[in-house]
Every structure is written in structure tokens, then in C-alpha cells.
Structure 1
Amino acid sequence: MPLARTTSKAAEARRQGHAAFLDAAERAVAEGESYSDVSIAGLATSAGFSRASFYAYFTDKRALAVAVAERFEQDLGERVDDWLDGDDIATVRPTIDGVAAVFGRHRGAVLLLAEAATYDPEIRERWKALHARFEQRIAAWIERATPGTPKATAKARAFALAWSTQAVLVEHLADRERVAPAIVDALAAQWEAGLTV
């Protein structure tokens, strides 16, 4: 039994260390530092580790950014996956409110990813893949909610909804910590129009 407990403690310590580096990266960017300027030494200090410890968790800053993206995607998916399986237009406003809350909670992550996607091809592909995952689900939602919608129309609307929502939320959060209710209302109206042909 002691071996199992030791292994479990080690796994938990590793999980906590990993999360501490992700939190440090998000925090640095949320506080106004550009991700390109964030140093590994600074991240390690903020996370409570030595610089050398960083490499026990990540090969480089790109790997850290990918892990930040994965955590953000998981949190966003938990908020919208069930909704995307349905077709209830009445739930659009609370869903968009929940999406805005996820973006606000991970403000540093979305600012980091939006920045890194402009100069790092791997992060750009990751960011596009995240959007594509939701675009496919949104297009299917449109087709279920409005039978007879041409696939090309549903796909185009899904693309516009996913990317415009991300752009609005990232720009809005660039200089504030939370998404204003008026922005949520505007996005919800956009979604309601876009989901029904």
C-alpha cells in the first residue's frame, strides 16, 4: 500500500506543478505581459519552482502554450458540449453567458493564444482546430434546428459564429477582466439570428 500512496502523491504533485505553470502563464499575460516576452525564469518564479523545473513539465514555451490551449478547450467544451447536442434556441442567451464566463476565467489563456497564433504556426493550427471542433458542432445544430438548411449555409454560419464570437470576446477582454452583459446580449442576438435561417 505505501507504494500506491507514494505514486498517487507523486501524480498529484505533478498535476499541481503542471497547473501552477499554466496559471503562471495565464496570469502573466492577463497582467499585460506579451507571451513572447514572458520568460521561462519568470514563469517558474511565479509558479513557485526553479527555472530548471520548467523542463520537467514542458519542452519549451510552445508546449506550455499548447497545454494552456488544451485546458481552455476542455473548460469551454464542458460548458457547451451538451448544448451543442441539442437544438433549443431558448437556451442561447444563458449558453453565451456561460461561454463569456469561461473566456473571462481564462482571460490570460485566450489573450496568450490569440497572440501566439499570429507568429507560431503550431499554435495557429491548434487555435484553428479548436474553432473547427466547434464549427462542426454548430453546423450540425443549425441543420437539426432548421431542417432543409443547405450544408454550405450551415457551415458558413457556423464559421462566422465561432470566429466572430472569439474575436469579440478576445478584443473585449483585452483591457477588462469580465465580459459586459451588453456584449453577451449582442452576441446572443447574433447567435439567435445565425442559428435560424
Structure 2
Amino acid sequence: MSADPPTPTPVPSSQQGRAYAPDQIEQLFRDALGVLMADGTPYRDVSVARLIGETGMARSTFYGYFGDKAALLHALSASTLTRLYSPQRDWLRRGRDVTRADVGEGMRRLLDLFLEDEAVLRAVGEASVYEPTIREAYVRSVDDYARALERFVRKGQKEGWVRAEVRPADTADALAWMTERAVGRVRPGTPARRLDAIAASLADVVCSTLLVAP
């Protein structure tokens, strides 16, 4: 027997019909998506009507900003994908001074960011099967990380702190998509020590693959 759908959270009447800033609207729908998908409900089964009901805003407000549910997901995913891999760029900028601890910290922050927007990213993963533009945006976000990693490798090879036998583009792609797969398997409620272990393991693979032993 299937579980009953989540009951929309009551919204104070003072919030209905009010004016919202664009970032407030996005956050309301981000939160609503998290509530409605928390029980494992697929994104395809979350209707616009349920999203609007969860936020408590007027239907006209939704359609004033988004033409449909796909447009909403585009808007939510844009900021999410932009910041998702930002922690990796912190340790990549360290260059020859990077340590395994730096990489581990970046991976741990990546896991935290993923979990903060897990519902949006799960929706993106699902919609990317049938929405080419969603898929392209998602692939581009991982590829951007891979290209930054490739630049790190090439610089390190020139300066002698990245192993000379590493193939820059292929290795960067492999490491970026390995990270994407590992992070994408994490779910809300994962214990902190398990997240620490995943981050440390990812850092071990990256550092062992790339860096010349001190």
C-alpha cells in the first residue's frame, strides 16, 4: 500500500498574497520541494498545485515568475549548481601547497552543500533523463570542475608536484565524475562520521592519483 502524500505545511494567512523578492520566492519553492520529496516522492509526481499549496503563495505569483515546473527547476538548479563545486576551487587554488587535509575539507563541504539542496539535486538528476536543457546544465557544472582540475594537473606537471604520467584531461574527467557519483549516493540523515569517511576517501583517491609523494 502506498503512503499518503505529505500534508502541506499550514502557511499563515499573512503570507498569502504578499509581495516577494525573487530570492525569497526561490527559497520558498526550494523548501517546498524538500518537504514534498522528503518521503521519496519522485519529482515528476510533485505537481505545481502541490508546490503552490506548500508555499501558500498565490497561483498568479508562481506563473508570474515561472512558466511551468521545468522553468522553476531551471531557476532553482542554476544557483545550486553554481555553488555546489565552489569548495573544490578553494583547494585547487592552493596549487603546490595543497594538502590531503585541504582536499578532504573541500570534499566534506561539497557533501554538506549537496545535502542542503538534496531535493533540488535529486529533482535535477531525475529531470535530466527527459529534459535536455536540465541535463546540459548539470553536465556542464561537473565538466567545469573537471576543467579546473585539469588546469591544476597541467600546472602541477610543469612545476613538478603532479605526477608526470597522469593524463590531464582524462584523469580530471574521471576524478570529477567519480566525485559526482560518490556524492550523489549520499542521503539526508547520513551520520557525520560516515560523511567524514566519504570525504577522506575521496581525498585519498585524488591525492594518491595526482600528487608526487613528499
Q: TM-score, normalised by structure 1?
A: 0.82
| Cα distance change of structure 1 residues 101 and 160 upon mapping to structure 2, 3 Å threshold | same
Paired position in structure 2 for 1:75: 83
Alpha-carbon offset, residue 15 of structure 1: 2.5
- Partners of 2:99 and 2:84 in 1: CA distance: 19
Residue type at the aligned position of 1:196: L
Paired position in structure 1 for 2:133: 122
Alpha-carbon offset, residue 196 of structure 1: 2.9
Residue type at the aligned position of 1:195: L
- Once the two structures are superposed, residues 12-70 of structure 1 have per-residue CA deviations (whole angstroms, 9 ceiling, x without a partner) of 63321232112222443344221111100111111221333211121111111112221
Matches within 5 A, 1:35-114: 35-87=43-95, 88-90=98-100, 91-114=102-125
- Once the two structures are superposed, residues 58-85 of structure 1 have per-residue CA deviations (whole angstroms, 9 ceiling, x without a partner) of 1111111112221212332443333332
Matched, 1:195 2:210: yes
Residue type at the aligned position of 1:25: L
Higher helix share: 1
- Partners of 1:74 and 1:20 in 2: CA distance: 19
Paired position in structure 2 for 1:185: 200
- Partners of 2:178 and 2:24 in 1: CA distance: 34
- Once the two structures are superposed, residues 114-157 of structure 1 have per-residue CA deviations (whole angstroms, 9 ceiling, x without a partner) of 11112211111111111111111011111222337679811111
User: Quick check: 1:44–1:50 contact (8 Å CA) kept in 2?
Assistant: yes
- Partners of 2:46 and 2:165 in 1: CA distance: 43
- Partners of 1:151 and 1:64 in 2: CA distance: 45
Paired position in structure 2 for 1:6: none
Q: Tell me, what secondary structure is at the counterpart of 1:128?
A: helix
Structure 1: runs of 5 or more not aligned: 1-9
- Partners of 2:32 and 2:81 in 1: CA distance: 18
User: Quick check: 2:38–2:119 contact (8 Å CA) kept in 1?
Assistant: yes
Task: Pick the aligned partner of 2:178 from 130, 151, 164.
Answer: 164
| Cα distance change of structure 1 residues 157 and 24 upon mapping to structure 2, 3 Å threshold | same
Instruction: Compute the RMSD of aligned alpha carbons.
Output: 2.6
User: Quick check: 1:93–1:184 contact (8 Å CA) kept in 2?
Assistant: yes
Q: Tell me, what secondary structure is at the counterpart of 2:129?
A: coil
| Cα distance change of structure 1 residues 184 and 64 upon mapping to structure 2, 3 Å threshold | same
Paired position in structure 2 for 1:7: none
Q: Tell me, what secondary structure is at the counterpart of 1:172?
A: coil
Task: Pick the aligned partner of 1:155 from 166, 169, 172.
Answer: 169
More moved, 72-81 vs 160-169: 72-81
- Partners of 1:126 and 1:151 in 2: CA distance: 32
| 4+ residue runs over 4 A deviation | 148-152, 175-179
Percent identical residues = 27
